[in-house]
Structure 1
Amino acid sequence: MKLKSTSLMVAGVLLGAAVMPVQADPMLDLLQVLRDKGTISAEDYSLLSNAAKAKGEQTAAEKEEIMAKVESKSSSSVTVDSKGLNFQSADKAFTVNIGGRIHADYGFVDDDYFGANNTGIGNEFGNGSQFRRARLGMNGTMFTDWIYELEINYGGADGDTGFTDAIIGYKGFDSTTIKLGRHKMPAGLEELTSSNRISTMERSMATNTFALSRFNGLSVERKGSNWTVMGGTWMGEGNGDTDNNNKDSDWGAAGRFTFAPIQERNSVVHLGASISYIDFEKVGGDNQNIRVRQRANRFVNERPVQVTYNDTKSANTYGLELATIQGPFSLQGEYFYRTLDRKDFKDADIDGWYILGTYTLTGETRGYRDGRMRTISPRNPVGQGGAGAWELVARYDELDLWDSSAAREAGSVSGLRGTKAENWTLGLNWYVNDNIRFMANYVDSKIKDSSPNDNTGKIKAFTLRGQVAF
């Protein structure tokens, strides 16, 4: 009978240990009392106490695991830093970044000599101010591998408000990103460098004329440690002057390849090439008259460089890139060549190029990543005991939109203004920190027309910018 009572008690102790793991320490005290009164033997005590201890340790581990899971489920984060307002789910599968940029520009233009020879190239221009860019946008990830981006530009130099980027994409493949929507197509080193990071207030005339900028299309980019390859295709928003009513959209395709044989922290050599094709759809059964034009400076609202090549079916553009970064010094250049394929006239060949050098007086090195130039990050920002970073910039660029042999035929060209241009740009940039920058540019432009007299107009401008980007 005593044995039976002992067995029942042992079973009860074991059951208590199983269902009340949080009572592990009191259970050991109870077992000790039972042993001291002789209710259980020393052997039973040893067996039961070891079982209770093991169960307690297991339960503690399980509790910690459960608490970790509970905490992880509720530990989504919200942060504000130099990149803007950031949201992230606990499992990091969903992220949101809200950011923007403001580029406030002021310009003082001297065109006293422009049109002095009655060339008729353009009109007088004046001093003024403008918000070159005022953008607000968001981007992030969904379900880990899906990406999105939406950015709106308010006003701007042309006074229009609309989307700059609006995409959905996928990055789940190894080192590959797919984008669908409005974004930049693959053409040009300077074009694919963000306006927050270019060293001059405006890109070169060659880049603005021949690089593709943003279109509504599809692109795929794959990259390695020191190379990138990107292809894209799009519809609409071509270079034609007509709208899309009752006609097919212009369409095109482009590709770009970059390779950096040297890519170290303070030393980079960059090589790149691009090619693009634009098909201009017919309007009323006729090929389009394609106007190729460019501003000499953003504060010159008209485009004093302009040629219209009539009866154009398509355009092929080829680009070459070369750049190097050596400590505080950087040098980059690009050359573009375009052939306009015309049905009843001789094909026209036009081109442009630039070379740009920068030197950081405070010693910082310009950034580079994934075939794109980046900006300066001050070692000693203002407000943290330093004076920021200071950068000198110089650029020379040329644009030649005149093919004399293609223009000889009657009716081959129209809408002429200046046909050739060359620009000198000198600049000084002050990087207060990673978000604030002030820029000063002096631009000296010469515009030539196609007349035998080689008439020349001149535009000089001093421009300032206050920039904040986050």
Structure 2
Amino acid sequence: MRRKTICLLLVLFVTGSAFAQDGVKYDQYGMEVQSKKIKTEMQDGRLVFESEDSDYKIWLDGRVQADYAGFFGVDDDYDEIGNGASIRRARFAVKAQVTRNWYGEFDIDMADGTAELKDAILRYDGIKNVEIQVGNFKENFSMQRNTSSRYLQFMERPMVTYLAPSRHLGANIKYSIPLIWASAGIFFQEIAGLEEVTNVQDNNKDYGRGTGESYTGKLVLRPLHKYNDMGLHIGGAVSYRTPKSTDAPSDFGGVRYSARNSTSINRKKYVDTDVIKGVDHSLLYTAELAGHYKGLRVETAYIGSTVSLKDDSPMVNKDNKNFGGWYAQAGYLLFGGQQRYDYGGAKYNRVQRGQKWGDLELTARYESIDLNDFDGGVYGGASEAYALGMNFWVNNNVKFMLNYQYNNNDRYANGKGKLLVGHDAAGKPTKDYTKVTESKGKAGIDYSMVSLRCEIVF
């Protein structure tokens, strides 16, 4: 009896209260409503309420990732790196298929102790093989960026994905059949935390500045779609982007690229172009190749950006600025598991475990990013990393990740002049890459790290 009462209260919470009079039901505003009986289920560890005809479905989606990282091997003369732990993500989402053709979702993250909006989506699915979506969501550009953090092979995405766009307010149309997947959208500002919202409002109120626009398109071919135990993903995307008003008013009209060494706990951004001012537009582009066979999965991509300046840009060197990088990674399930590809999203999904107790996945990755453009007068630094990992997929909801990574930064990767990167002629540590006396392979901040993640989704 107690369990039935709790279920009834949850149903009222997610569907809205209603009362009946003379056989007719009304909502809390006194409006007559149509009602359907719904069933309550646990689907892969998630609480789901669904109508008998499946036209209506609403579910809760939570995620917690607790991380730890330790760092070692950095030169004693350079800046120290603090070991630490963090809640990487603490997500809560409500998702609903309100009719057979209409879907809605909102998703927030509270990992930093404050709420930050992630997804806020309205989607129409009433045209065969087509989705039309508006709201705040990830642009369809990078496969690695669009893969859910629940299903990543490493704790952090490769550094070069910081060049790729993530969530922005906009509208998108997607066409998907097993062989071909295509997407096109227009996007505006980022909607995330208080800082971004304040910048947009200040730029609008004080200077009359627009939010900026981006046009992003992607095409993917899947020639092995007829096979159940293998797949091949061949994709490419481009994005034409104007500067956004989410930047501080003093930086408006500029572009800045920066990245940490594939960790969220070491907060130092070694590679950083600083703000490139007076930008007319930037053009992002990527080519990606991925595939799987039973328990083996491989993935590689190149991402590049060309930044074009206005004639009146304050930059001394007005040549186009070019940046880019790539990664290659692989994973293998040791105990009979199967890698799984999401054909609707053109990305990888949760693995199918090979044993009742779970499965172990061994992973390896090489990645690099280059934010130096010597001809263009930008010295943002370059970095590469070698990583090994092991993922323990316990069940549909619990996962443990262990990563080792070696990071190799060049002499220009000094965090906009804030970090020590070598020694001068007198043997003293210096932040100035022009004074570094070490050879090309010796200069820069190199170190190793070991990290652990405990993850639950529900």
TM-score, normalised to structure 2, is 0.77
Aligned to 1:237: 190
Q: Distance in 2 between matches of 1:317 and 1:86?
A: 39
**Residue 56 of structure 2 is aligned with which of 78, 94, 102?**
94
Aligned partners of 1:287 and 1:313 also within 8 Å: no
Aligned partners of 2:363 and 2:389 also within 8 Å: yes
| Deviation >6 Å, runs of 4+ | 238-242, 282-287
| Match status 1:196 vs 2:166 | no
Change (3 A) 1:97 1:323: same
| Match status 1:205 vs 2:172 | no
Unmatched runs of 5 consecutive residues or more in structure 1: 1-72, 117-122, 383-387, 408-412
Unmatched runs of 5 consecutive residues or more in structure 2: 1-34, 413-432
Q: Which moved more, 1:230-239 or 1:105-114?
A: 230-239
| Match status 1:331 vs 2:293 | no
**Residue 358 of structure 1 is aligned with which of 293, 310, 331?**
331
Deviations 1:159-183 (A, max 9, x none): 5421111111110111111111111
Aligned partners of 1:109 and 1:299 also within 8 Å: no
Shift of 1:381: 2.7
Change (3 A) 1:404 1:95: same
Aligned to 1:292: 257
Shift of 1:226: 2.3
Aligned to 2:180: 227
Deviations 1:109-154 (A, max 9, x none): 22532764xxxxxx42211111100111111211221100111111
Aligned to 2:87: 131
Shift of 1:293: 0.5
Aligned partners of 2:222 and 2:233 also within 8 Å: yes
| Match status 1:278 vs 2:241 | yes
Give secondary structure in 1 for the equivalent of 2:145: helix
Aligned to 1:375: 350
Q: Distance in 2 between matches of 1:284 and 1:425?
A: 39
Aligned to 1:31: none
Aligned partners of 2:45 and 2:396 also within 8 Å: no
Q: Distance in 1 between matches of 2:101 and 2:95?
A: 13
Query: 1:27-426 counterparts in 2 under 5 A?
Result: 75-110=37-72, 112-113=74-75, 116=78, 123-156=79-112, 160-207=114-161, 209-237=162-190, 243-244=199-200, 245=202, 246=204, 247-263=209-225, 264-280=227-243, 288-296=253-261, 297-308=263-274, 309-343=276-310, 344=313, 345-370=318-343, 371-382=346-357, 388-407=358-377, 413=378, 419-426=381-388
Deviations 1:242-283 (A, max 9, x none): 922132112211011111111222111110001111101689
Aligned partners of 2:199 and 2:249 also within 8 Å: no
Give secondary structure in 2 for the equivalent of 1:190: helix
Give secondary structure in 2 for the equivalent of 1:206: helix
Aligned partners of 1:286 and 1:311 also within 8 Å: no
The one-letter amino acid of 2:324's match is D
Structure with more of its chain in helix, by fraction:
1
Q: Distance in 2 between matches of 1:298 and 1:281?
A: 25
Aligned partners of 2:213 and 2:242 also within 8 Å: yes
Which of structures 1 and 2 has the bigger CA Rg? 1
Query: 1:7-46 counterparts in 2 under 5 A?
Result: none
Q: Which moved more, 1:451-460 or 1:188-197?
A: 451-460
Shift of 1:363: 2.1
Deviations 1:363-405 (A, max 9, x none): 21210122211231213232xxxxx100100000000001100
Give secondary structure in 1 for the equivalent of 2:42: strand
Q: Distance in 2 between matches of 1:148 and 1:302?
A: 37
Change (3 A) 1:181 1:238: closer
Aligned partners of 2:63 and 2:91 also within 8 Å: yes
Deviations 1:28-87 (A, max 9, x none): xxxxxxxxxxxxxxxxxxxxxxxxxxxxxxxxxxxxxxxxxxxxx864211123151111
Q: Distance in 2 between matches of 1:330 and 1:284?
A: 44
TM-score, normalised to structure 1, is 0.76
Give secondary structure in 1 for the equivalent of 2:53: coil
Deviations 1:169-218 (A, max 9, x none): 110111111111111111111111111011111000011x2221111111
